Structure 1
Amino acid sequence: MKRRLVMPLPALLLLPLLLLSPSGCSTPPDRPAAADRTSAPAASSGAPFTATDSGWIQLMTPMSEQAGRLLAMASTHESAPPVATWAAALAKEHRTELAQLRQLLGRMGLPDTNVHAGHDMPGMVTDADLDRARRLTGAEFDGFVRQEIRAHLEQSQRVSRSESHAGGGQEAKRLAADIADSRAVQLKKLSSLGR
Structure 2
Amino acid sequence: MNKHFIRRTALVAAAGAASFVLAACGSDKDASAGHGSSASATASAAVSQGEHNAADVAFAKGMIPHHRQAVEMADLASSRAQSTQVKTLAGEIKKAQAPEIKTLSGWLTSWGEEVPAEGVMDHSMHGMDGMMTGEDMDSLKKSSGKAFDTAFLEMMIKHHEGAVDMAKTEKADGSFPDAKKMADAIITSQTAEISRMNSLLGTG
Q: State the distance in 1 between where 2:97 and 2:132 align.
A: 13
Q: Which of the residues 140, 143, 151 maps onto 1:144? A: 151
2:123 corresponds to: 118
Structure 2, unaligned runs of 5 or more: 1-44
2:52/2:176 contact within 8 Å kept: yes
Deviations 1:18-38 (A, max 9, x none): xxxxxxxxxxxxxxxxxxxxx
1:161/1:180 contact within 8 Å kept: yes
Q: Pick the structure with greater CA Rg.
A: 2
1:166 equivalent in alignment to 2:173: yes
1:81 corresponds to: 84
Q: State the distance in 2 between where 1:180 and 1:105 align.
A: 21
1:99 Cα shift? 2.2
2:80/2:143 contact within 8 Å kept: no
1:182 equivalent in alignment to 2:189: yes
1:156 Cα shift? 0.5
Change (3 A) 1:78 1:177: closer
1:53/1:169 contact within 8 Å kept: yes
User: Which amino acid in 2 is paired with 1:154?
Assistant: E
2:67/2:97 contact within 8 Å kept: yes
Q: Which moved more, 1:142-151 or 1:163-172?
A: 163-172
Q: State the distance in 1 between where 2:122 and 2:185 align.
A: 25
Percent of aligned pairs with the same residue? 25
1:44/1:171 contact within 8 Å kept: no
1:50 corresponds to: 53
1:43 Cα shift? 8.1
1:70 equivalent in alignment to 2:48: no
1:116 Cα shift? 4.4
1:108 equivalent in alignment to 2:115: no
1:59 Cα shift? 0.8
Highest RCO, 1 vs 2 (Cα 8 Å, sep ≥ 6): 1
1:96 equivalent in alignment to 2:99: yes
Q: State the distance in 2 between where 1:130 and 1:118 align.
A: 14
Change (3 A) 1:101 1:55: same
1:70/1:125 contact within 8 Å kept: no
Change (3 A) 1:92 1:43: farther
Which protein is richer in helix relative to its size? 2
Aligned residues: 154
Under a length normalisation based on structure 1, what TM-score does the superposition of the two structures give? Answer: 0.69
User: Which amino acid in 1 is paired with 2:157?
Assistant: R
Q: Which moved more, 1:159-168 or 1:147-156?
A: 159-168
User: Which amino acid in 1 is paired with 2:161?
Assistant: E
Runs of 4+ in 1 over 4 A off after TM superposition: none
1:47 Cα shift? 4.1
1:59/1:116 contact within 8 Å kept: no
2:164/2:187 contact within 8 Å kept: yes
1:8 corresponds to: none
